[in-house]
């Protein structure tokens, strides 16, 4: 039986961000859909029930938490270990060169991550880059619309340039609405790839986001590859 070694990869702040971010995305998506298309009719006087008002309140509070989480994650990119940095290095030339290889592996059910160290999956890096870009787009357009209700507030002051680019509030609503659908697509693709890779490589990819540890084959640690160098001290 192949011997494996426990390697501490995901620090607690990274795991905390991951699960809190997932909760925020789910809440924002569900409340956002309701705000765009209210389906519940209040029983009685609307001012007493205020269903849409509470949904909007939850949406706004969650948006603040979502923003705070991303500020923290950007900070932890610099403060965390090598894996906290590695997953967001989606600008590397190798990420672009290896996309075809990884997509082919997914289509043919090949264990393309077998023998790779955690964080070295180039396709995952690019996916996280898209996720980060989409999140920033949602934050900017969301707070721009939020500030529209109070032109003298801080949100409008910081996002006034967004209105200048968009020309009016309507394009912002459309951008915010259509960009929202990136997230359920990403989540489904992410879950498929995570469970698929965990099943093929048996490295504990799923459990690592709870414990922080990967089960890495010793041959990978001893291979002397660029991905494996220096891991014993991490």
Residue 95: other Cβ atoms inside 10 A: 19
CB 24 within 8 A of CB 66: yes
Task: Please provide the distance, in angstroms rounded to a whole number, between the alpha carbons at the two ends of the chain.
Answer: 25
Rounded Cα–Cα distance for residues 70 and 59 (Å): 16
DSSP one-letter code for 8: E
- 3-class SS string, 65-127: HHHHHHHHHHHHHHHCCHHHHHCCCCCCHHHHHCHHHHHHHHHCCCCCCCCCCCCCCHHHHHH
DSSP output for 42-72: PSS-HHHH-HHHHHHHHHHHHHHHHHHHHHH
pLDDT in tens, 104-151: 666 665 555 544 556 556 777 788 888 999 999 999 999 988 888 777
pLDDT in tens, 55-91: 999 999 999 999 999 999 999 999 989 888 877 666 6
Rounded Cα–Cα distance for residues 226 and 129 (Å): 22
Per-residue tokens: 113: 């991550």
DSSP one-letter code for 2: -
CB 146 within 8 A of CB 63: yes
Question: 147 exposed, middle or buried (CB, 10 Å; 0-12, 13-18, 19+)?
Answer: buried
CB 105 within 8 A of CB 111: yes
CB 208 within 8 A of CB 214: yes
- The lowest-confidence range among 118-122, 164-168, 181-185, 191-195 is 118-122
Question: Comparing 42 with 144, which gets the higher pLDDT?
Answer: 144
Per-residue tokens: 181: 């659908």
pLDDT in tens, 186-195: 999 889 888 8
pLDDT at 233 over 50: no
> What fold is seen in the domain 4-233?
Fumarate Reductase Cytochrome B subunit (1.20.950)
Per-residue tokens: 49: 């029930």
Domain ranges of the chain: 4-233
Residues 6+ apart with CB under 8 A from 101: 112
Rounded Cα–Cα distance for residues 19 and 152 (Å): 35
């Amino acid at each position: 039986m192949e011997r494996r070694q426990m390697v501490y990869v995901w620090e607690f702040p990274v795991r905390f961000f991951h699960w809190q971010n997932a909760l925020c995305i789910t809440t924002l998506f569900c409340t956002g859909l309701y705000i765009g298309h209210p389906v519940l009719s209040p029983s009685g006087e609307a001012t007493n029930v205020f269903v849409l008002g509470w949904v909007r309140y939850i949406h706004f509070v969650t948006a603040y938490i979502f923003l705070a989480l991303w500020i923290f994650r950007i900070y932890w990119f610099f403060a965390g270990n090598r894996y906290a940095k590695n997953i967001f290095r989606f600008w590397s030339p190798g990420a672009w060169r290896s996309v075809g290889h990884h997509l082919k592996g997914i289509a043919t059910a090949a264990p393309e991550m077998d023998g790779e160290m955690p964080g070295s999956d180039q396709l995952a890096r690019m996916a996280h880059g898209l996720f980060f870009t989409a999140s920033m787009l949602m934050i900017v357009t969301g707070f721009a619309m939020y500030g529209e209700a109070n032109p003298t507030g801080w949100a409008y002051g910081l996002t006034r340039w967004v209105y200048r680019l968009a020309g009016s509030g309507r394009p912002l609503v459309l951008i915010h609405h259509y960009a929202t659908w990136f997230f359920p697509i990403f989540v489904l693709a992410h879950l498929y790839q995570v469970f698929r890779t965990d099943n093929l490589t048996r490295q504990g990819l799923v459990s690592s986001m709870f414990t922080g540890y990967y089960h890495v084959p010793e041959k990978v640690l001893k291979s002397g590859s660029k991905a494996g160098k220096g891991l014993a001290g991490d």
